[in-house]
């Protein structure tokens, strides 16, 4: 059993203990209210406190990644209005201070593939921040190939990464270079797009880039 699965096991144990529910029920197909709540809380806690991808979390609870994403968003949407849900979350976190040592928020950055882009509305995004001192190959190392590449003459951007960070979506893109070769070989200043700025996102992205370069150089 790898470290990530052990971490998910630990969170599942916390959730099942709190709701007094057998793990088999959470992993099963039943949709009783408390079972669904426990399942959604597991997804939210795993997303918030671990490095696990939606795919891995989905495999762990016998669901697909879209179901996990829906569960995380559901908790995020209701947490400020549903007193019971907020109480459950706060109590689980308070009862398990080790959650804060399970992982680091930086690993919650996840690239959106072009095949899943339809799930996100980025058309209304504006520039919310600037990423400086980073080259194209460093973004590739941390995030993989860009979600979108543009090849038409006159395009104001030649490439864009679309990423999720917690329950938010951001884009990272070049702007008005009009030259893909320059973007790949010379550019070190990138635009960050979104609905609103989040100071932790840029810090998290820089830490993720640093971590990926360390792994690359091993």
Residue 40, classed as helix, strand or coil, is helix
CATH architecture of 3-103: Orthogonal Bundle (1.10)
What pTM value is reported for the model?
0.53
- What's the token pair of residue 99? 């959650």
The pLDDT value given to residue 101? 58
Instruction: Tell me which DSSP letter residue 159 carries.
Output: E
- The ranges assigned to domains in the chain are 3-103, 108-216
- pLDDT tens profile 150-180: 877 778 999 999 999 877 899 999 999 999 9
Q: What are phi and psi of 208, to 5 degrees?
A: -65, -40
């Amino acid at each position: 059993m790898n470290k990530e699965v052990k971490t998910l096991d630990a969170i599942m144990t916390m959730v099942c203990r709190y709701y007094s529910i057998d793990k088999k029920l959470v992993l099963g197909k039943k949709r009783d209210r408390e079972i669904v709540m426990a399942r959604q809380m597991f997804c939210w806690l795993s997303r918030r406190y671990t490095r696990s991808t939606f795919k891995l979390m989905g495999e762990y609870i016998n669901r697909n990644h879209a179901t996990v994403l829906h569960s995380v968003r559901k908790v995020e949407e209701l947490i400020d209005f549903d007193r019971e849900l907020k109480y459950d979350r706060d109590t689980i976190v308070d009862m398990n201070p080790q959650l804060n040592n399970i992982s680091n928020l930086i690993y919650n950055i996840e690239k959106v593939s072009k095949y899943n882009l339809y799930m996100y509305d980025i058309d209304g995004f504006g520039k919310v921040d600037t990423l400086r001192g980073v080259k194209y190959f460093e973004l590739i190392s941390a995030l993989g190939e860009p979600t979108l590449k543009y090849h038409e003459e006159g395009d104001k951007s030649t490439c864009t990464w679309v990423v999720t960070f917690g329950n938010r979506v951001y884009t990272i893109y070049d702007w008005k270079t009009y030259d893909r070769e320059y973007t790949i070989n010379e550019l070190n200043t990138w635009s960050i797009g979104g609905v609103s700025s989040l100071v932790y996102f840029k810090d998290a992205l820089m830490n993720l880039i640093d971590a990926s370069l360390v792994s690359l150089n091993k």
